[in-house]
Amino acid sequence: MESRSNSASDRSLANVGLGALGKRDRSANRSAICQPNPSTSATGMEFNSPGVTWAQGHLKGKITRRIYCLNSTVRTGSTLAEKLQFKRLPIAPEPKDLLAAAFGRASKSASALRVVGGPLEGARRRERERIVVASRIIRDKLSKVVKDTPSLPDLPPFYRELVDALVDIDRMRKSLGAINGVIKVIDKLEREHLRRLGSAESPAEASKIRKQAYGRISSIIKRASPHLEFLREAARKLADLPSVYVDMPTIVIAGYPNVGKTTLLRQLTGSEPEIASYPFTTKGLQLGYFDRGHRRYQVIDTPGLLDRPLAKRNPIERQAIAALNHLADAIIFLFDPTQTCGFEFESQLRLYHEIRKLFPKIPVLPAANKSDLIDEAKRQRVLGSCPDVLFISASSGEGVGALLEKALKTLGSSES
Ligand SMILES: Nc1nc2c(ncn2[C@@H]2O[C@H](COP(=O)(O)OP(=O)(O)OP(=O)(O)O)[C@@H](O)[C@H]2O)c(=O)[nH]1
Ligand SMILES: [Mg+2]
């Protein structure tokens, strides 16, 4: 364990603008804020402890909610690993659906009322019911969106970096603030119109006051439409964030697009992810697992990276950086010297050196893929640039065993 430290300073990417915490630091961070949660998850593995859930406040601490959890501990032989899961975000409603649902339920509820008294009293009671029910439904639905949306500072560093890569956090904060404001306005409108209803002098006037309340509620909700739409889009983007085992030994596969990373994941773990003969197929992180002896290992396939500064990396590439930064115990850097991937070997080499520089404490194993297409001259050229490279064919499996042994040896020595 001590031969390669994962400490915050070791993994610090301050020079490239990334907040960095290694696995041990994540554990320390986690234990400070976790609380018990009896849930487990079904992955077909044996769970032996209840796990923990983080509960965090947000929006000036007024709202407390659960965002994400470490809700399962898996035992593989003598090894324990905790699974970090990102909860799906609530889907913000479309304004027209929200209003239709609220007004529809309000009408039903008002018609079901059994009113005693004269026509004026009956009208007042029914219109009151409609305002109360409609306001409550709208407030409840909007509160759920605000309550269940994660606050970035509360997330563990790995997810913080992923979320930051995928959505505009400032905009998200503003939209949540705006929705919170809408909830308060609806509350105020409800009270104001109920007060006026109390002094309505005819059924027609009671109906007019209720219509005015509906009109103002509708326009408030319609005005909030861009915020709701933004939050819906954010939820869509974050819906597929992977669940990772934070304490499991992890190999991250990185490299240029189309070099065969996903094919290698499949070869190493038997998982069945999408593979295509064009670049940029993999848009998010893909996970697979394999067992060796009494241990289980996690393998993460990342979207292809180009050789460019971090600041210019797109959200998809930044997911790969987050996985390398926070999860990797060893990195397999995959080259495609045949260049059938569509990118020059020289560019791939630059990226390889960049990755080594960015993550100096993580062992990087270079592998040259598509060896079935590589002739001797090319092989020598590759060895000239990268002497410790292993030649493999991810599709046929040739050389993959040797690469795996090397990775396991590296993991073993870094953990012993
Ligand atoms: N000839 C040959 N083709 C391979 C080999 N490994 C992968 N390929 C092909 O290379 C193409 C890209 O493979 P992927 O595994 O999708 O590559 P990737 O690096 O995950 O690509 P992105 O997700 O787009 O970054 C596919 O057509 C694979 O069949 C190999 O060893 N030999
Ligand atoms: Mg891929």
pTM: 0.75
Please report the atom of ligand 1 found closest to the CA of residue 392: 31
For 250, the token pair is 């992890």
Please report the atom of ligand 1 found closest to the CA of residue 281: 24
Question: How many degrees, rounded to 5, is the angle at CA 358 between CA 260 and CA 166?
Answer: 65
Higher pLDDT, 372 or 73: 372
For ligand 1, atom 21, name the residue with the nearest CA.
Answer: 258
Q: Is 279 in the pocket of ligand 1 (CB under 6 A)?
A: yes
Q: How far apart are CA 324 and CA 301, in angstroms?
A: 10
Provide the 8-state DSSP code for 388: T
Q: How many CB atoms lie within 10 A of CB 309?
A: 9
Query: What CA–CA distances, in Å, run from 315 to 106, 163, 192, 237?
Result: 43, 9, 46, 11
Please report the atom of ligand 1 found closest to the CA of residue 275: 16
What is the residue type of 129?
A: E
Question: How many degrees, rounded to 5, is the angle at CA 415 between CA 411 and CA 416?
Answer: 115
Ligand 2 centroid–CA 280 distance in Å is 7
For ligand 1, atom 14, name the residue with the nearest CA.
Answer: 260
Q: How far apart are CA 295 and CA 273, in angstroms?
A: 23
Question: What is the band of 76 on the pLDDT scale with cuts at 50, 70, 90?
Answer: low
What residue spans define the domains of the chain? Answer: 95-238, 249-415
At residue 276, the pLDDT reads 79
Say yes or no to pLDDT of 79 above 70.
Answer: no
In b/e form, how buried is each residue of 383-411, taking b as 16+ CB within 10 angstroms? eebbeebbbbbbbeeebbeebbebbbebb
Ligand 2 centroid–CA 69 distance in Å is 28
Answer whether 95-238 and 249-415 agree in fold. Answer: no
Q: How far apart are CA 3 and CA 28, in angstroms?
A: 20
At residue 275, the pLDDT reads 83
> Which of the residue ranges 44-58, 86-100, 151-165 would you say has the lowest mean pLDDT?
44-58
Nearest to 255 by CA among 326, 306, 325: 306
Q: Is 271 in the pocket of ligand 1 (CB under 6 A)?
A: no
Q: In what order do the strands lie in the sheet with 250-255?
A: 286-292, 295-301, 250-255, 330-335, 364-368, 390-391
At residue 87, the pLDDT reads 74
Q: How far apart are CA 110 and CA 231, in angstroms?
A: 32
Q: Is 338 in the pocket of ligand 1 (CB under 6 A)?
A: no
Element (H, E) at 56: strand 52-58
Question: What is the band of 88 on the pLDDT scale with cuts at 50, 70, 90?
Answer: confident
For ligand 1, atom 27, name the residue with the nearest CA.
Answer: 277
Rounded to an integer, the average pLDDT of 27-53 is 27
- For the domain bounded by 249-415, which CATH number is listed? 3.40.50.300
Residues whose CB falls within 8 Å of the CB of residue 387, separated by 6 or more in sequence, listed in order: none
For ligand 1, atom 7, name the residue with the nearest CA.
Answer: 260
For 242, the token pair is 């992977």
Q: Is 262 in the pocket of ligand 1 (CB under 6 A)?
A: yes
Q: Is 370 in the pocket of ligand 1 (CB under 6 A)?
A: yes
What is the residue type of 220?
A: I
Residues whose CB falls within 8 Å of the CB of residue 106, separated by 6 or more in sequence, listed in order: 129, 130, 131, 132, 133, 134, 137
pLDDT, one tens digit per residue, over 270-309 is: 988 878 788 888 889 999 999 998 889 999 999 999 998 8
CA dihedral 254, 158, 173, 150 (to 10 degrees): 120
Q: How far apart are CA 408 and CA 251, in angstroms?
A: 9
Q: How far apart are CA 388 and CA 335, in angstroms?
A: 13
Percent of the chain with pLDDT over 90: 61
Spell out the CATH class of 95-238.
mainly alpha
Ligand 2 centroid–CA 279 distance in Å is 8
pLDDT, one tens digit per residue, over 307-324 is: 988 788 998 999 999 999
Q: Is 258 in the pocket of ligand 1 (CB under 6 A)?
A: yes
Residues whose CB falls within 8 Å of the CB of residue 229, separated by 6 or more in sequence, listed in order: 92
Ligand 2 centroid–CA 317 distance in Å is 12
> Which of the residue ranges 87-96, 190-199, 219-228, 255-264 would you say has the lowest mean pLDDT?
87-96
Query: What CA–CA distances, in Å, run from 297 to 5, 50, 120, 179?
Result: 19, 22, 72, 43
In the block, residue with structure tokens 């408030």: 220
Mean pLDDT, the chain, rounded, equals 81
At residue 39, the pLDDT reads 29
Ligand 1 centroid–CA 368 distance in Å is 12
Q: Is 373 in the pocket of ligand 1 (CB under 6 A)?
A: yes
